[in-house]
Amino acid sequence: MLDDFEEILFKVEGAIWRYIVKAMRRRYKIVLSFSVDELECLPLDTVADLQVNRWAPWIKIVIHRDVNTGAIILTWLDAHRNEKECDYLKFLAYCTLLGRLKDVEKTCDKIVEKIKEIVNGTNK
């Protein structure tokens, strides 16, 4: 059963990955900044740290486009200003499997929107 779950998780990760990376065109790395309010799906420890850290309510998403080691990493600062991170692609896949499809869709759309701003040179 665990193998079946991992196979499904892998397929969901792949679908999310392809949707986001398609917007990157030929770029191999993009770093995006978001305020906490902009994304629907965030890990609870991220939200907790950012509520304590009113001085740094920003998070970064780093997307590395590589066939073998592609990753989408979420980073933020904790209460002691230490950088923390999580595998955001896997987190979004888990959220999807937990029934938060609309939230994941809105989050991915927001990420793609910011990528397109950078790629098209309209990033402010």
What residue numbers bound the domain in which 94 lies?
A: 2-119
Q: What is the pTM of this model?
A: 0.85
On whether residue 124 sits in a domain, the answer given is: no
One-character DSSP codes across 15-74? HHHHHHHGGGTT-SEEEEEEEGGG-S---HHHHHHHHH-TT--EEEEEEE--TTT-EEEE
Low-confidence ranges of the chain (pLDDT < 70): 47-57, 66-69, 79, 123-124
pLDDT at 20: 93
The pLDDT, as a whole number, for residue 87 is 92
- Domain for residue 22, yes or no? yes
pLDDT of 49: 67
pLDDT at residue number 102 = 96
Confirm whether 72 is domain-assigned: yes
Q: How far apart are CA 77 and CA 9, in angstroms?
A: 28
Closest C-alpha among 78, 79, 58, 63 to residue 118: 63
Say how many domains are in the chain.
1
